């Protein structure tokens, strides 16, 4: 998936960016593959953090706005504050076994302090990112060109999930479950609600990545064979879904010279073929059958129910609000023909209301069908 996403991103490089962008893509590929393969904790941490440098360069070199240098420093600050404490874990590991190797020694939870579990979760949650540590992500996506957003969503955001999986033997899952599970489920629904109020298509896709990726730490804390399978499938299909949406954002920007939903409308009349591709992307984003991403969503539902039946209510809210914001951008871009004399607030309020009503009717019909 990593090599495929980076290969696809190469075709969205402008001629003015081609001189250094090839080197950047090679560096990202090298750093990412090393994170997958290395069994040394120090090298894993080093290349995991080094994978951020190409994205910083992309933002500073080809960013959209004059404030791109300041915004890239915000991304660097998040990494410094939340990831550098992981060095404490590296030194602790070496002091216990005189080695950085991941497979030389098996650890029991009694051997490791609870702080280690928090350090592992927080360090890799920055790049997922978990809500609360996510503020750098919309900034980075808005600043980055199309190929940078594809790499960021398709590759770098998945390294956090890979790091959690590779260091799962050092984590006390019962401790993390008692402290973080309620937070993760609450903001799983909340950040999906935030997506319903976004006006920039690229910001919608960025925030939808945050809402969708919130399932990864939940599945990680579940720590069952079913949740691990669901986590891997979810990482894989999210790594394909988000780049597809960012590609569509880039194409629509070339059509309309804007990412605002009020401006990007009536695509069905402008380009029926692109409109059809957008329809397929919509159903793939919604994880609807027959798309295989449907399997990941079903496994996530089952894993959440096995954690607690009460947590299923948050998952249902997450599903409902996901339907709302996806219907929002889908209806506006494909079918909306609002006059430009309408104000932005009035237009979006009308469209949000109709999307919300449609979503409610669809969900009500679904639940009626299930209970009957």
- The values of phi and psi at residue 343, to 5°, are -75, 155
Tell me the residue range of the domain where 38 lies: 2-100+109-256+268-321
| DSSP structural state of residue 169 | G
Whether 367 is in a domain gets the answer: no
d(CA 315, CA 7): 34
In a domain, 368, yes or no: no
Q: How many CA atoms lie within 13 A of 176 on its CB side?
A: 23
Q: What is the mean pLDDT of residues 95-118?
A: 68
- Tell me the three state secondary structure of residue 301: helix
- Evaluate whether 119 touches 222 at the Cβ level (below 8 Å): no
341 domain-assigned: no
At 361, the pLDDT band (50, 70, 90 cuts) reads very low
> Phi/psi zone of residue 257: left (φ > 0), alpha (ψ -120 to 50 degrees), beta?
left
Question: Once rounded to an integer, what is the mean pLDDT over residues 11-30?
Answer: 78
Quick check: is 348 in a domain? no
Q: Is residue 214 part of a domain?
A: yes
Tokens 């969708």, residue located? 212
Q: Select from 136, 138, 129, 131 the least CA-distant residue to 157.
A: 129
Asked if the model's pLDDT at residue 282 lies above 50, the reply is yes
More confident residue, 6 or 66: 6
How much is the average pLDDT of 267-279?
Answer: 88
For residue 97, how many C-alpha atoms fall within 13 Å in the half-sphere facing its CB?
16
The verdict on residue 344 lying in a domain is: no
Dihedral sign for Cα atoms in the order 255, 257, 260, 263: negative
Q: Is 262 inside a domain boundary?
A: no
| Cα–Cα distance for residue pair 147/14, rounded to 1 Å | 9
Q: How confident is the model at residue 255 (pLDDT cuts 50, 70, 90)?
A: confident
User: For residue 15, what pLDDT band results from cuts at 50, 70 and 90?
Assistant: low
Average pLDDT, the chain: 80
Q: Which of 150, 120, 327 is nearest to 238 (CA)?
A: 150
Given a cut of 50, whether residue 320 has pLDDT beyond it is yes
Q: What are the angstrom distances between the C-alpha of 27 and each of 73, 151, 162, 163, 302?
A: 20, 12, 18, 19, 38
Does 293 reside within a domain?
Answer: yes
**Across 9-23, 110-124, 281-295, which has the greatest mean pLDDT?**
281-295
Domains held by the chain: number: 1
State the Cα–Cα distance between residues 260 and 84, nearest whole angstrom: 37
Best-predicted range by mean pLDDT among 78-87, 124-133, 278-287? 278-287
Yes or no: say if 209 and 194 are a contact pair by the CB < 8 Å rule.
Answer: no
Max distance between CA atoms of the chain, in angstroms, equals: 70
Q: In this predicted structure, what is the pLDDT of residue 270?
A: 84
């Amino acid at each position: 998936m990593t090599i495929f996403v980076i290969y696809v991103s190469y075709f969205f490089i402008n001629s003015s960016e081609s001189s250094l962008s090839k080197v950047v893509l090679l560096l990202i590929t090298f750093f990412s593959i090393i994170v997958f393969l290395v069994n040394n904790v120090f090298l894993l941490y080093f290349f995991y953090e080094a994978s951020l440098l190409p994205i910083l360069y992309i933002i500073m070199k080809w960013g959209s706005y004059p404030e791109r240098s300041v915004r890239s420093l915000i991304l660097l600050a998040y990494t410094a504050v939340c990831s550098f404490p992981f060095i404490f874990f590296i030194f602790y590991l070496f002091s216990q076994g005189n080695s950085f190797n991941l497979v030389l020694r098996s650890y029991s939870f009694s051997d490791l302090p609870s702080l280690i579990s928090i350090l592992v979760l927080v360090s890799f949650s920055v790049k997922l990112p978990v809500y609360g540590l996510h503020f750098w992500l919309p900034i980075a996506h808005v600043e980055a060109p199309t190929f940078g957003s594809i790499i960021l969503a398709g590759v770098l955001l998945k390294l956090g999930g890979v790091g959690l999986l590779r260091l799962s033997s050092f984590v006390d899952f019962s401790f993390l479950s008692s402290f973080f599970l309620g937070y993760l489920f609450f903001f799983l629904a909340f950040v999906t609600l935030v997506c319903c109020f976004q006006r920039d298509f690229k910001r919608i896709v960025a925030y939808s990545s945050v809402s969708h990726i919130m399932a990864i730490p939940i599945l990680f804390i579940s720590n069952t064979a079913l949740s691990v399978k669901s986590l891997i499938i979810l990482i894989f299909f999210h790594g394909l879904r988000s780049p597809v949406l960012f590609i569509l954002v880039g194409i629509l920007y070339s059509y309309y010279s804007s990412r605002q939903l009020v401006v990007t409308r009536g695509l069905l009349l402008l380009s029926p073929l692109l409109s059809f591709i957008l329809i397929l992307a919509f159903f793939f984003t919604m994880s609807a059958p027959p798309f295989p991403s449907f399997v990941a969503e079903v496994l996530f539902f089952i894993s959440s129910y096995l954690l607690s039946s009460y947590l299923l209510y948050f998952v249902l809210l997450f599903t409902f609000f996901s339907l709302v914001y996806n219907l929002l951008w889908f209806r506006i871009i494909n079918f909306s023909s609002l006059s430009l004399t309408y104000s932005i607030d009035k237009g979006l309020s009308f469209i949000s209301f109709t999307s919300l009503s449609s979503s409610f009717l669809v969900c009500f019909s679904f639940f009626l069908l299930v209970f009957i």
